[in-house]
Amino acid sequence: MTRPYILCEANQKQISERKIELAVLPWGATEPHNMHLPYGCDAITVTRIGELICERAYGDGAEVILLPTIPYGVNTNLMSFPMTMNMNPTTQLAIIRDVTTSLKQHGIRKLVILNGHGGNDFGFVLRELYSCGVFMVSVNWWMVAAEACGHLIENKGGEHADEAETSWGLHFFPELIGPLETADDGAVRPFRIEGLGKSWSKITRPWERVTTQGGYGNPHKATAEKGRLWIEESVRQLGAFLVELSKAEMDDTFPMA
Ligand SMILES: [Zn+2]
């Protein structure tokens, strides 16, 4: 049975019977994750999150539609790893410009960019396209449940192919995950210059110098159960967010109270 809230599965009859208010655009990356997770990890995970939150929101009366996932992310700093596929920030801007133009022509004026990759930063896109006529919000899905579920993670401080990301993978696609013994412990080099480690500075980190084989954080204590709990909390919070955003009137004071 097709799911009418997923554009790739819906047919014109289903779409033409709806008044869609809100589109969700999942955005991943194609890059190595230590030695054990698949290159499509971010894209597959963010697609599944998108499906689950749209299913939940649609069930709760939200007029949402899930757009096809963009599978390439900003990876300029991982290009020394084999088969990393980079998409530049300005290309992402061009894609979002075209997506919002299409949405606007179909009368859809709200877009959630559902981000699944830390190297994607849509802040400048939101500023440049501020007046495009589509209200845009960028959501880093993995941050939503970080406060509620951070205690599940035993080896903290990870960022990439770590215990949390591996746990999400074990929940969604255990069949695509290589033996955990192939992953190293994800140790990282500290900065030489103290200020580079402060929250007030920001660089694009040379990933092959930061990490030993691409992983940031130790994945060895990952479990499917940790992944399930984290995902369920994320879906609960994001589903409610989509319902509220979908139903919000775009009046003179939107999005303020
Ligand atoms: Zn990832």
Overall size of the chain counted in residues: 257
pLDDT (tens digit, 9 = 90+) per residue, 45-56? 999 999 999 999
pLDDT (tens digit, 9 = 90+) per residue, 207-246? 999 999 999 999 999 999 999 999 999 999 999 999 999 9
The alpha carbon of 182 and the centre of ligand 1 are apart by a number of angstroms equal to 17
Domain that holds residue 146: 12-247
The alpha carbon of 9 and the centre of ligand 1 are apart by a number of angstroms equal to 26
Residue 1 has pLDDT above 90, yes or no: no
For residue 255, tell me if it sits in a domain.
Answer: no
For residue 101, tell me if it sits in a domain.
Answer: yes
For residue 2, tell me if it sits in a domain.
Answer: no
Segment 162-171 mean pLDDT:
98
Which residues are in the CB-under-5-Å shell of ion ligand 1? 41-42
pLDDT (tens digit, 9 = 90+) per residue, 179-205? 999 999 999 999 999 999 999 999 999
Percent of the chain beyond pLDDT 70? 100
The alpha carbon of 248 and the centre of ligand 1 are apart by a number of angstroms equal to 32
The alpha carbon of 136 and the centre of ligand 1 are apart by a number of angstroms equal to 23
Quote the pLDDT of residue 141: 98
Residue with tokens 């691409």: 214
Tell me the C-alpha distance between 232 and 53, whole Å. 10
The alpha carbon of 216 and the centre of ligand 1 are apart by a number of angstroms equal to 10
Using only C-alpha atoms, the chain has a radius of gyration, in whole angstroms, of 19
CA angle 191, 195, 198 (to 5 degrees): 90
**Number of domains observed in the structure of the chain:** 1
For residue 252, tell me if it sits in a domain.
Answer: no
Is the Cα torsion angle 169, 117, 75, 218 positive or negative in sign? negative
Quote the pLDDT of residue 161: 97
CA angle 30, 46, 69 (to 5 degrees): 70
59: CATH:
3.40.50.10310
Residue 2 has pLDDT above 90, yes or no: no
Given a contact cutoff of 8 angstroms between Cβ atoms, the answer to whether 35 and 41 are in contact is no
Quote the pLDDT of residue 17: 95
Structure tokens given for 139: 């959501």
pTM exceeding 0.75: yes
CA angle 222, 226, 229 (to 5 degrees): 160
The alpha carbon of 215 and the centre of ligand 1 are apart by a number of angstroms equal to 9
For residue 83, tell me if it sits in a domain.
Answer: yes
The alpha carbon of 135 and the centre of ligand 1 are apart by a number of angstroms equal to 27
For residue 236, tell me if it sits in a domain.
Answer: yes
For residue 62, tell me if it sits in a domain.
Answer: yes
For residue 253, tell me if it sits in a domain.
Answer: no
